[in-house]
Amino acid sequence: MSKRPAETSLDGELSVGSPASKKARVDEEIDESDTRNGGVPAQRAPGQEWEQHERHGENILAAADQEREELEEGVQDNLDLPDIDEDAPLVSAPKRQSEPLEGYSDLYLDTINRAVLDFDFEKQCSVTLSNINVYACLVCGKYFQGRGPRSHAYFHALEVGHHVFINMETKKVYVLPEGYEVKNKSLDDIKYVVDPHYTKDEVMKLDKEVRDAWDLQGKRYRPGFVGMNNIKANDYLNVVVQVLAHVTPIRNFFLLHEFPVPGTPQLSLRFSTLVRKLWNPKAFKSHVSPHELLQEIALRSSKRFTLTHQSDPVEFLSWFLNHLHLSLGGSKKPSPTPTSVIQQAFMGRLRIESQEITAHSDTTNARLVFSESSNTNTQITPFLILTLDLPPTPLFQSANRESIIPQVPLTTLLNKYNGITASEKRAHRVRHRLLHPLPPYLLFHIKRFSKNKFVSERNPTIVTFPSPRSLDMSPYVEPNPNIWSPGEPILYDLVANIILDATTPTQGAGEDDKGSASAGAATGAGAASENVSWLVQLHDKAMAAVNARREERERNGEPPHRGPEWLEIQDLYVNRAESETLFTKEGYLMVWERRKIPGTKKKGKSAAR
C-alpha cells in the first residue's frame, strides 16, 4: 500500500466528500403469483416477461435520480450552516438589559415574599461576609454582594431562580440576571421598611394622636411601643434603647436628621435606623431586632458589651451616651454649653464640696477623735446621671423577711443634693448641690448593687413616690434669682422607668440548701448574674393627651373611656401597667421630664418647672 506524501494537506483530504452509499441490487422479483405452486415460478409469456424487465429498469433509474437529488440537497444544507466555535460555552449568558422589554415591567414581582423579609440584621453577604454593595433577595431574604455577571446575587438568580433584589443603600430594586431596574409603586412599602422616613408634621403628632397599626399577620401594635428581640442576654441594651427612643428631643433628632452615609459614624447611623424602625407605622412585623446595633457596640467597646453576656444598664448607658455624643460631633473637653443633642437633653451642673476628715491620736485615753478640717475643696462639674444611694438593709432580718420589704421615699434619697446632708467617701465628707439651670431630663440611678472582694450584693429596697407627676426639684437646687424666682416649684414628670427583675436560683439546690439559696437571691444577685433580667415602663404621652380630651367630654355627659397611659415592655412582651403601682417594683433607672409652662418667660429665657 502506497504512503500518503508528506506535502499533502490533511485539510484538503478531509474536505473530500464521502462516496454515496450503495444499495443491494435485486436481479429479479418474485411475484406473489410465483409462490402459489410451492414456490415454483409460474410460466410467463414472452411479452409479459419483457414488460416486467422494462418496469424493473424504470424503478432502478427512478431510485438513482431520487438519491442524487437528496445528495445535492444535503451538500447545499452543509454550505448554509454557520461556522461552529468549539471553544464557545454550551449555554450563553443572558443578555443584560438597561430596561425591561415592552409589556414586561412587572415580571417576577409576584414571586416576592414579604413574610420572610427581615432587614434588622447586619447587612453582610451570606457568602463573603462583606458589607460592601449588599443586595437582599426579596424572595428568600438572604443577602448577597453585587449584581454583576460574576457576583453572588447573579449566581443566586441563575441557580435558585430568585430574580428580584434590592440594594440596601440606594433602595433600588433590580431584576437579575437581566439586570434592569424595576420602578413600580408596589415596591414602595418594602423600601419604606428598609429605611423608614418621617416628615416634621408626622413627628409633631407622635405625642398628640394615638395611631394604631397592623403587621402582615394582622396583629395590632402601637408604633413606638413594640417589643425588641432578646437574642441571648441583651435585654440590658433593649431597655436603654427604649428609654432613649422616648426622650422627645433625642427621638425627634434621630427621626428627622438625615445622616450623610459616607461620613457618618456607624454608631449614630445604626442607632438612628433602630429608632426609626421602633416608630415605623408600616412594619411587616410587630417587633424589631437590635442585632445591627449590637454588632457595632461590641466592636466599639472591645467586647465589653455583647449580646451573650448580661451587663448593667447604667454602665452601658453611661458608655453609650458618651460615645454617641462624640459620634455626633460633640466636644471631647468639658464645655459650658452643650455641643450635641445628648448634652442638651441630660447635661446639668453640680457643685461638690469636699472636706477632709483627720484623726488625732489621744495616748491618754487610747482612742481616736475625728475632727473636720478647715480646708474645703469646691468644684463645679457637669453630670449626665445622678446617683441615689439606698439606705443599707437591716443586718438582722426578721423571720418573715420575704413578706416585709424595706421602703424609702424618693424625696429622702434626693436629700443627698440639698447641700446640707453630707456623705462620707473614704477620708472625705462630701456635700452635693444642684445648680441652675436644670436639664430638660433628669436621669436617676438607684444604686442597688454593692461590690467588694468577695461578693456582689443587691439591695431590694423599694423606692416610693406618691405620683409619677409633679416631682418638685426646687429644694435641691441652689437659688439663682437671675434664672428662677426663689420659692417657685420646678416640676418634673416621670416618662420612663427601668425595672430590675431578679429571680431565685433553685436549680441544683438540695433540701438543706433551699433556704440559703433564697437568701442569697434576695441579697446577692449581681448585675452579671444569669437570674437578673430587665424591663422598662414607658409613659404614653399620646394616650394621656387623648384621655385629657376625653375627660372634658365626660363632663358633658359622655360615658367614660380611658386608655392605658403606661405600658410595660420586657423583650417581645408589651403589657399594660397602672400608674398607681409603678413604684411597687425595684426601680433601677428613672427618667424625669421637666414640665413646661406655656407662655411664661423669665428675663428673655423660657421658664419651665
Q: How far apart are CA 297 and CA 467, in angstroms?
A: 36
pLDDT tens digits for range 82-128: 444 445 444 455 666 666 666 556 778 999 999 999 999 889 999 99
Residue-level pLDDT at 301: 95
Q: 278 with 247: CB under 8 angstroms? A: no
DSSP string, 177-200: TTTEEE--GGGHHHHHHHS----H
Alpha carbon distance 426, 351 (integer Å): 19
C-alpha cell at 565: 397611659
pLDDT more than 70, % of the chain: 70
Domains of the chain (ranges; CATH) run: 109-193 (3.30.40.10), 196-327 (3.90.70.10), 348-383+385-506+514-608 (3.90.70)
pLDDT of residue 5: 53
Kindly indicate the confidence band of residue 427, based on its pLDDT and cuts at 50, 70 and 90. confident
pLDDT band at 39 (very low <50, low <70, confident <90, very high): very low
Closest CA to 156 of 170, 145, 168, 167: 145
pLDDT score for 229: 94
Question: Please, which residues bridge with residue 136 across strands?
Answer: 143, 166
Task: Identify the bridge partners of residue 569 per DSSP, sorted by sequence position.
Answer: 536, 574
- For position 361, what pLDDT does the model report? 46
DSSP string, 222-254: -TT--EE--SSS-HHHHHHHHHHTTSHHHHHHH
Query: With b meaning 16 or more CB within 10 Å and e meaning fewer, what string describes 238-257?
Result: bbbbbbbbbbbebbbbbbee
- CA–CA gap between residue 507 and residue 346 (Å, rounded): 42
Mean pLDDT (whole number) for 179-191: 91
Mean pLDDT of the chain: 78
For the chain, helix (H) and strand (E) counts, in that order, are 14, 27
Nearest by Cα to 314 from 410, 413, 445, 463: 445
pLDDT at residue 193 greater than cutoff 70: yes
- For position 398, what pLDDT does the model report? 59
CA–CA separation, 244 vs 274, rounded Å?
A: 11
